[in-house]
Each structure stands twice: as structure tokens, then as C-alpha cells.
Structure 1
């Protein structure tokens, strides 16, 4: 029966990878772009989960044990976790499935997440964890406080989510459709569809897990700590349904990425590696204090309408907002070599060297690589055009976003296109999987036109965006 955890994990990994399901990005978009569209996908998970768990509880199939609310631990842990996932480039489940896509930075973040979570739960930080949770209100869930059935809350949140989803789907239907020309099995899932399937998997997970003696559903932090602890101690208690769940998530995301041509080993630079390590350490500490991550709290506890779940998500969102404002900024200049990997530090310090080589023609390139050529004369590129852009021809420029982790390809594209004139084209090369959804979505929201969009290699894409006349 324990193998059902592996099966659910594989399915979860496939759906999350194909749906580009990233809670970090959903909340980050609110702070950076005032966009709420993608957050609806999380509420779809919560709604499906809430209805399913209420049904299973009412039928006596499961008997959830509700977490009590420790305010200090939840608030501090949520903030630390929110900041950490900005540095690491993804939340707990996102780090697992991006590791399956070949992002080495996520490997470092995942390892440090496991180390710090294990230290908080079973090791040297266990006393600190217990101390922070010593102020416990004893509060469990909203339905218990108000003495009503959880069905009232489940139906209310489901109706609100359905209305929000209909609103944003109608807006999307009115926009030009932009997608890659590829077979059906390589096309990404709509995020709302992915949310519904994840919710169903969460409902299925609970009775399957409970049948093995683990009275819980989806979870990432404790299982991640258990994977590391079991590998070191061989303690059989640490090898359970949850450990197979997270290992299955990794396997599923790898299968999905490989089948869709989105797997490639991508090595970050030293600075980004350090930030992934620090972010991973913060994730483990924060999630342990808060009682869960964006899955344990954000999808499970919220669907049980526990105080812990909803307050944890509030403080995680605040941490994400602070981290996004501090650390997600465009660089001021292009990097010195075309084969660079993107450094998060560049966006913070704005200290990026530019060599003379970046401003001269490549002998193999179009003659207009740095100069616009007209009959009888040579026109220098206008100084107002961003140095991040390489001129390809009059009115056509190239942005090299290869190696940039999300959301930086979109951040840099937004910054660079402001320096172009209406009608100019910007060709963007990138290898961030989430960018296949984020960049076309940004272009549509801003009123720009996507002229060409294609996959050029394994986990490599190019998209051409024409600047709209109203966005000068």
C-alpha cells in the first residue's frame, strides 16, 4: 500500500511540471504586477480539496487531526519561508519538480531545504522549534470556532473561486491566442486544469496515506526531512508514504520534462548557487516553524479551514512580497559574455560589466548587429536603446535571456522593451520553462504582439515581441 505514495507523487510531478504550477509565482505576480489571474489556480486546489475532504470526513472515510494555532511560530516561519522561496526560485513542491527539469540551482536548494527541515524536526534545532511553538492558542479550525459544518466554508469558497475563474477565463478568451506549435502531449496544461487535478490528487492522497498509518494527505516538508534522515540513519520510521510521495514528484516531473523536450541540465553561476543554498536553508526553517509549506499549509490546512493554514499563507505572502521588492529587479546593463548564466546578484547590485565585445559586430552575424545599415550611409543605433539589447537590423533587437531563472526573463524583457519605439521587434531567447507561459502572458497584458514563438532546442525557446504603439 505504501507504493501508492509513489504513484500519487509521480502523477503530482507530471501535473505540476506540465501546468507550470508555482505558488511562488502566483503570489509574486500580485506584488510585482498586480495580477491575480494565476492565484485563482491555488484557490481551485483549495476548493476541490475542501469539498473532497468534507465529503470523506462526513462519510467517515478519514478523520483528520487538526493543527492547533501557534501564532509566533506561524508568523515568523511564514515570513522566513516566503523570503526563502524568492531566493531559492520556487516553493517546496516547485523546487522538487524543477529539480526534475534539470535546474542545478534547485538541486542545491532542495538539499539545503532537507537539511534545515531535518535539523528543525529531529536535530539540533528541534528545541528552538519547540520553543517557538510553545505559545499555542489551542485554536484549530474556523468551523469548530463557529460551531458549523465545514460544508458552509467549502461551498462558499468554491462558489467564489468559480466566479473568479469564469471572470479571468472570459478575459483570456478575448485576447489573441499564443502557443507553441507542437504535438498535444508536449503542450502545457492550463494552470486552472492543473489546479483541479492537483486538488483531486490531494483528496485521493488522504485515504491512501491513512491506510498506511499516516493520517495526513499531501505534504512536502516533513517527507523531505524524512528522505534525508532515512538516507543517513536508515530509521524505518522515516521511510513512509510521504517519502515516496516526494520522490515520486521528482520522478514524475523528470518524465514530463523529458517527454516534452523541457529537460536540460542548467548550471547557475556561483552567486545564484549561494542564493539557492541560503533560500533552501530558510525554506526548511520557515516551513517547520509554520507547520507546513505552500502545500501542507497552502493546500491542505487551508482546505480544512484551520487558523494555521490561512495565517501561514498570509505571512508567506508578506515574505514573498518583501523578497520580490528587494531582490527581483532588472539589471542595468548586459552581462559581459553572451554565454553567461544569470546572477540574481546582478539584479540587486546593478553592477554588471559590459565589455567592448558586446558593442562590436560578430563576423558571423547580420551586418546590422550593432549598426543600422541604409543605402549610402551607416546609422548608429540610438543611444536610448538598452545596452541589454543587440541590434539585429533596423527596428529589430535581440535579448539574450538564456540562463536566467524565472521570473527574470520577463523582468528583463519588460525593462528592455521600454527603450524601443513603437513597431520595433524584440527577439528573446530563454530557457526558463515557466517563461513559456509568463512571457506571452505579459505581452498580451501589455498590448504587445507576439510575432513568432518556437522551441529551438531542449528547454530552449525564442519569442519575438512587437512593441505596441500605446506602450512607448
Structure 2
């Protein structure tokens, strides 16, 4: 138990610290791909996937860890991932982003987190469990892309990594926009950790390395998996209600560690402060959290569990989930950001014509 607590909190704290300092937000990244035509955060995700994929499959080949892809619940993954994508736009952050932003003192994220944990628990061990299990029962027998095609997984990893290296090298060659910065108030390690702006690609490499570390640390406690947010979040609420200690595992301390690590990073960088949203934003965040919990539970993973981990394991579940997650964020972004803006411009134009 002590090992579980210490390693789970440590891994989670590292992840929370890195994501907070690097502003590693997949919700903003997916949204910016559509609205601002800015792909940098998506490219950062690809880096983290490539790093983790190489590291984890090396550990598997060395018999350090074990992994089974299982079957592919394709209907649940498609529906759940799309709903999850809508939810993270309304919530203002994905599952991990909500945890680390809650650690910054953003009370809207606390509301989103409450909805996320509540619906995840309802889906996994509450009245919607039969619905979850029924939709998830529609499966294809093979989830591994390598098993389906009969081609070694290392071929897919090599091709994917080569594509990522090409994309990143091209991106780094683009002219840089120099933004004037204030004179550093700190020096040395303090400046690097808490003041200097972290590059998203550097942050992604660290996230990928932490994702690799999560596998042996988790499996050492009997949990045969890597990073995961949804089930541990549901387990926390279920434990608080039932007191069932058996559901407390390494993943629970991982997500608690994310909150702790983000809090340390936010305090160190002087970014921590309690911020109360207005009523409309608070309600929207809670509804977004509800959709996140429903979607992630149905899809078998969130933007981390599916979008980072299962993609790195070269599974159909991971890559199909990532595609529909992005489509969900784009759909919500249109109705939340694009359409209202178009309506305002149209109304302003009509008003100008009428006045003239």
C-alpha cells in the first residue's frame, strides 16, 4: 500500500507539474486546430504518443511489463469519444486538464470535475451500467492494428515516428515570432521551473516519458495499465460514498498526484488563485463534466487513456477514439464559438444598414 501511494502520487505529481507549466491542454489544442488553424498542440500530442510507444513496447519486449489490447468496442468508442469531445469544450478542459486546472484554483474546473466524477461513477457502477455494458458489448475481435494486419507493431511505430520527426522538423524551421518578455525576476532553476515559458514540444517529450514510467510503477502494484483518468476518478467518488477500500488502486493516487503537482507548479509560478466563474459558466462547466464522464466511460478512455495511451499502443480503439474526439470538439467549437460570432457580425451589419 505504501508503494502504491508513493509511486502513484509521485507519477501524478510529475504529470500535473509538467502539464501545468507547459500548458499542455488538448482541449485548447483540438479547438485551435479548427478555429485558429494552429496545430502545434496536436503535434505535441503526436510527440508524446511516439515517445511513449517506443518506450512501452521496449519494456514489453524486455518482459518488464505485460499488455493485452483486448477486443475493439467500436460502437461505444465512436459514440463515447464524440460526446467526450463535445463535453471538454463545454467544461473548458479535458479530463487531465480539468484535474490540473482545479489545482490552479479554477473553481469552474472543480464544477466540471464534479460532473465528470459523478457521471463516470453512474456509468461504471451505477444505474447506467447496463447501458454502458450493452453498447460496449458490440465488439470486433481484434483491437491491435498489428494483429489485424499481420505486420509487426514496430513497423507501425517506425513509420509513425518518422512522420512525427518530419512534421516537427518542418515546424521548427518556420520563422519564429519574437514576443518581448519582461526581465526575469528569478535566476537558475527557479527561473527554468517556474518562470520561463515551456515549449509545447519539450513538454510533450516529458509527458511521453512520464507515460512510460507509469506502466512499470502501476504494474508493480497489480494494476496492469499505464496512465488513466476516468476509472480512478470514478473510484474516488465511489470510495467516498461506500467506503470500499478495494477500489482504491494506483490510478487513484495518480489523479490525486496530478492535482498536487499542478498546485505546486501554480504556487511556484504565482499563478494559483481562486477564480469563481459566473453562474452561466459554472452550469456549462458542470454539464460539460457530465458529458465528459458519459463519453469517456462509454469509450473506455479519455483524451489520455485513449488519445495518448491507446494510440501509443497502436490500437484501433486509440486512433478511432482520437479522430471522433477531435470531431466532437470541432462540432462543439462551431456552436459555442463560431456560430455566435457569425450571428453577432450579421446582426451588427444589419443594424448598420438600417441606421444608414
Same fold, judged at TM 0.5 (above): yes
* Greater share of residues in helix: 2
**Equivalence map 1:457-472=2 (5 Å):** none
1:469 corresponds to: none
1:24 corresponds to: 27
Alpha-carbon distance, 1:149 to partner: 2.2
For the residues of structure 1 that align with 2:182 and 2:281, how far apart are their CA atoms?
29
1:278 corresponds to: 287
For the residues of structure 2 that align with 1:159 and 1:180, how far apart are their CA atoms?
38
**Equivalence map 1:383-462=2 (5 Å):** none
* Greater share of residues in strand: 1
Tell whether 2:47 aligns with 1:44: yes
1:10–1:172 CA distance, 2 compared to 1 (3 A): farther
**Equivalence map 1:105-184=2 (5 Å):** 105-173=108-176, 175-182=177-184, 183=186, 184=191
- Residues 297 and 308, structure 1, Cα contact 8 Å, conserved in 2: yes
- Residues 40 and 200, structure 2, Cα contact 8 Å, conserved in 1: no
1:256–1:276 CA distance, 2 compared to 1 (3 A): same
1:85 corresponds to: 88
- Residues 67 and 308, structure 1, Cα contact 8 Å, conserved in 2: no
**Equivalence map 1:221-240=2 (5 Å):** 221-240=230-249
- Residues 10 and 248, structure 1, Cα contact 8 Å, conserved in 2: yes
How many residue pairs get aligned? The number is: 336
- Residues 65 and 215, structure 1, Cα contact 8 Å, conserved in 2: no
> Aligned-pair RMSD on alpha carbons?
1.8
2:264 pairs with one of 255, 271, 292: 255
Query: Larger C-alpha radius of gyration, 1 or 2?
Result: 1
2:349 corresponds to: none
Listed as ranges, the gaps of 5+ residues in structure 1 are 332-346, 351-383, 385-472
- Residues 104 and 268, structure 1, Cα contact 8 Å, conserved in 2: yes
Listed as ranges, the gaps of 5+ residues in structure 2 are 345-351
* TM score, norm. by length of structure 2: 0.91
1:323 pairs with one of 311, 332, 337: 332
For the residues of structure 2 that align with 1:179 and 1:41, how far apart are their CA atoms?
23
Tell whether 2:314 aligns with 1:314: no
2:98 corresponds to: 95
Greater relative contact order (CA < 8 Å, ≥ 6 in sequence): 2
For the residues of structure 1 that align with 2:181 and 2:248, how far apart are their CA atoms?
42
1:65 corresponds to: 68
- Residues 48 and 208, structure 2, Cα contact 8 Å, conserved in 1: yes
* TM score, norm. by length of structure 1: 0.69
For the residues of structure 1 that align with 2:297 and 2:180, how far apart are their CA atoms?
41
1:279–1:60 CA distance, 2 compared to 1 (3 A): same
Alpha-carbon distance, 1:188 to partner: 2.8
For the residues of structure 1 that align with 2:331 and 2:241, how far apart are their CA atoms?
36
